[in-house]
Amino acid sequence: MKLKTTSLLLLTLALSISLQAQTEKAKVMETTSKATIEGHIYFLADDLLKGRETGTAENKIAASYLANTLRSYGVKPNPKTGTFYQDVALKRITPPNDVVIAINEKQIENYALVYPSTISTRTDAVYLNYGLEDDYVGKNVKGKIIIIKSGDADASNVMAAYGLKGKKQELARANGVAAIIELIDTDNDTWEWIDHNFNSSQLMVANELNEKTGTNDAELPAHIWVLDKDHDMATRFVTMKRISSSVNIGDKKEEIVMSQNVIGVVEGTDPKLKKEYIIYSGHYDHVGIGTPDETGDTIYNGARDNAVGTTTVLSMAENLAKYPTKRSALFILFTGEEKGLLGSEYYVEHPVLPLKQMVYCFNSDNAGYNDTSLVTIIGLPRTTAAQHIKDAATAFGLTATDDPAPEQGLFDRSDNVHFAKKGIPAPTFSLGFTAFNGDVTKYYHKPGDEADTLDYDYLLKFFRAYILSGRYIANDPKTPTWTAGDTYEEAAKALYGN
């Protein structure tokens, strides 16, 4: 009799779980339609918005569209402002035309002004390995130019160099360095992108360095990336007893540009769990107007990157406004991602709710897709919510897979990384791809990334898988965490106090 009772209880429990899963799926299907997602993407990727470049009127139009869409769903606004906006003050720096850089009397042609501080100096240079803490030990570099390798001992690619630029600048400033010349070995296409982005106007969060270090931006040394094919210069400089160098950079132009993150909130239903928040995020900016393609098109519409990710968040908001989960939801649509993850960088330093209440950041960002049977989760195995995401994808006929191109450093190239650094588990939900080539690179940051080139039958399943994933995670009594041993586990302990 006891065995029969136990079996009956187990069967009842299994049926209950099955029915609950079916109910959750039904809620997702009810609030998502192909017509709605097409409407969002076609508007955001319309030529009218001229590529949604950060700081432009068209970027503000996109923000207004997003804010009023959240309003129409019944989502509550930013609790700090009472509006759906968070103002983000950015500084636009236009580099000077009069720049001359020379090493051993040879003028450098392939350079990028990472930080164009005005300077005119001629001095012996000090070769300083990677330019990190240990490299300064026993070295007198005050008033000198340092020559360093990109990244660190673990990674020397462009993304590693970009990720460490702030740290290297601050170390150089603290040690009285006049200028940094950082040697980078990369392919021609990547260098072309670097040249375009760093030798034209740049945006950065206004006063970001003042807040982080207590220093004035003007005190930062000039920082220059120099193309060093096959590490030729780095190899030679290691053994050179003397390296002469000169750096001459004229006056740069600076101006403040205002942009905005778009923020909304839906309160959870559980008296205890509603104090915990799941962040649903994506960036809505793109790269604007640029070099024409073979058809003469100059508008980089950004349908995949990231009108799709933006629509993912809107779809989640529409669903949760009607069917809230046990945990609360914070929706953040970031500006400035394409300019260096600026909106998310600003947000984590100016959160509208305490970061320690944010237990998960479910970001969505995209370059493209080449497999419509997949959803690719950058960082899938890095959090304990992985199975929820896999189950949700399966429910809509898709397979959730991990990052197939770790060499691209994608985890650190989207807004999720700023939350990860604070300790918040933060994977990125992306369109399905098996390699970062072909149909992915065909549209990535290209004028051809138009709304009419997308497979909306696939996207409907993609959006539904994201929403169901979010619902599973937000309703689970167990709080999601980093997988044991993850790089950001210590940051999580510091944030959450456990």
96-251: CATH class? alpha beta
* The pLDDT of residue 104: 95
Do 26-90+257-496 and 96-251 fold alike per CATH?
A: no
How far apart are alpha carbons 102 and 23 in whole angstroms? 67
Q: Prior bond to 306 cis, omega within 30? A: yes
Q: Rounded to whole angstroms, how far apart are CA atoms 224 and 111?
A: 7
Residues 6+ apart with CB under 8 A from 178: 119, 121, 123, 143, 144, 145, 221, 222, 247
Task: Quote the pLDDT of residue 210.
Answer: 47
Q: What is the pLDDT of residue 288?
A: 96
Q: What is 26-90+257-496's CATH topology?
A: Aminopeptidase (3.40.630)
Give the CA dihedral 446, 447, 448, 451, nearest 10 degrees: 110
Compute the distance between CA of residue 363 and CA of residue 333 in angstroms, rounded to an integer: 10
Per-residue pLDDT, 192: 86
Q: How many CB atoms lie within 10 A of CB 174?
A: 12
Instruction: Give residue 211's pLDDT.
Output: 46
Residue 209 has a pLDDT of: 46
What is the pLDDT at residue 163? 80
Closest listed residue to residue 370, CA positions, set 410, 405, 414? 405
What pLDDT sits at residue 154?
83
Question: What is the token pair recorded at 300?
Answer: 């980089």
Residue 412: CB atoms within 10 A of its CB come to 18
What confidence score (pLDDT) does residue 149 get? Answer: 96
pLDDT along the chain (498 residues), means of 10: 60 58 91 98 99 98 99 98 98 92 96 94 95 96 96 83 89 96 92 86 75 55 96 94 95 94 99 99 97 95 98 99 99 96 97 99 97 98 99 99 89 94 98 92 94 99 99 98 97 95
Domain positions in the chain: 26-90+257-496, 96-251
